[in-house]
């Protein structure tokens, strides 16, 4: 899908406008997100980062149409999600969103090929075409030799590759990844981040990821930092970025510039 333009500027694939999300917890009102605005252009790989309870997973759920804002507007792939019913949201997700989870969510009784083909059951494709497309997706993630393997016979990194193949098999406009490296060792985590970057570079995919993994900063185009439901900006965002770099064992920008 070619991005639309507005006066020479690419129209964002995601536009979050003054969005807040409140929850009731007993007599208390919890502010998961407070007046957040941001946009993501097509073909970008971005991360939502922050401590537990910062609101990053809530923001990801709003982007993927799993949750609804209490205030503000959420536009994704040109659609205002606030306006859709639950059934319309489910249909919209099936057509536009590829989901990747921390714990893979594979069906243990299905082999890799059949797991990847699952989202295509919602289409009018016949079984042979569904399996052909599943094999193509598994080829893209480097699992040609694992088509008939069941999840229990695959490593954690291989299971996550199957999950990524499942997310891209419908050729979605947006890939949404929730802690995709959270259950992996360092080597496999790096490999998965590299694969996501490859999907962005080679296929022009837009990827939005929630992560605690400081290694992600080497792979994404931009990281948005949240804390207590607020999107950090300016010096606050820079300090959060520096803290993550230091946690990864790197050197801060301030140290490199002598600031």
122, part of any domain: yes
- Residue 226: give the domain boundaries: 42-56+85-257
CA distances to 48, 117, 144 from 112, in Å: 29, 9, 10
> Over the range 12-33, which residues count as b (16 or more CB within 10 Å of their CB) and which as e?
bbbbbeebbbeeeeeeeeeebb
In whole angstroms, what is the distance from residue 176 CA to residue 65 CA? Answer: 11
Q: What is the pLDDT of residues 222-232, one digit of tens each?
A: 999 999 999 99
62, part of any domain: no
Q: Determine the pLDDT at residue 165.
A: 97
91, part of any domain: yes
Task: Indicate the pLDDT class of residue 237, thresholds 50, 70 and 90.
Answer: confident
Structure tokens at 138: 């598994």
188, part of any domain: yes
Q: What is the pLDDT of residues 59-110, one digit of tens each?
A: 999 999 999 999 999 999 999 999 899 999 999 999 999 999 988 999 999 9
CATH code at 150? 3.40.50.300
In whole angstroms, what is the distance from residue 169 CA to residue 152 CA? Answer: 22
109, part of any domain: yes
6, part of any domain: no
Q: Which residues lie across from 104 on neighbouring strands?
A: none
In whole angstroms, what is the distance from residue 21 CA to residue 43 CA? Answer: 27
Task: Indicate the pLDDT class of residue 2, thresholds 50, 70 and 90.
Answer: very low
Q: In the predicted model, what is the mean pLDDT of residues 9-33? A: 89
**Reported pTM:** 0.87
Rg over CA atoms, the chain: 19
Structure tokens at 169: 């098999």
Report the domain count for the chain: 1
Q: What is the pLDDT of residues 45-54, one digit of tens each?
A: 999 999 888 9
Structure tokens at 4: 């639309």
133, part of any domain: yes
211, part of any domain: yes
Q: In the predicted model, what is the mean pLDDT of residues 223-244? A: 89
């Amino acid at each position: 899908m070619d991005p639309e333009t507005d006066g020479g500027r690419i129209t964002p694939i995601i536009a979050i406008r003054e969005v807040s999300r409140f929850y009731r917890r007993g007599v208390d009102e919890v502010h998961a997100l407070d007046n957040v605005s941001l946009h993501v252009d097509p073909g970008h790989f971005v991360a939502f980062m922050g401590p537990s309870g910062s609101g990053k997973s809530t923001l990801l759920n709003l982007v993927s149409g799993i949750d609804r804002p209490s205030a503000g507007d959420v536009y994704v792939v040109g659609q205002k999600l606030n306006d859709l019913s639950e059934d319309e949201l489910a249909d919209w997700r099936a057509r536009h969103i590829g989901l990747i989870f921390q714990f893979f969510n594979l069906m243990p009784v299905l082999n890799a090929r059949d797991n990847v083909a699952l989202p295509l059951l919602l289409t009018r494709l016949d079984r042979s075409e569904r399996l052909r497309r599943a094999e193509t997706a598994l080829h893209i993630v480097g699992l040609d030799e694992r088509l008939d393997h069941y999840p229990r016979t695959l490593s954690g990194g291989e299971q996550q590759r199957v999950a990524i193949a499942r997310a891209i098999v419908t050729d979605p406009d947006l890939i949404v990844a929730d802690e995709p490296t959270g259950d992996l060792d360092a080597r496999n985590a790096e490999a998965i981040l590299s694969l996501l970057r490859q999907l962005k570079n080679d296929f022009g995919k837009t990827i939005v990821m929630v992560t605690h993994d400081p290694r992600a900063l080497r792979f994404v185009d931009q990281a948005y930092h949240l804390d207590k439901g607020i999107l950090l900006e300016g010096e606050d965002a820079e300090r959060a970025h520096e803290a993550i770099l230091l946690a990864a064992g790197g050197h801060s920008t301030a140290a490199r510039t002598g600031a």
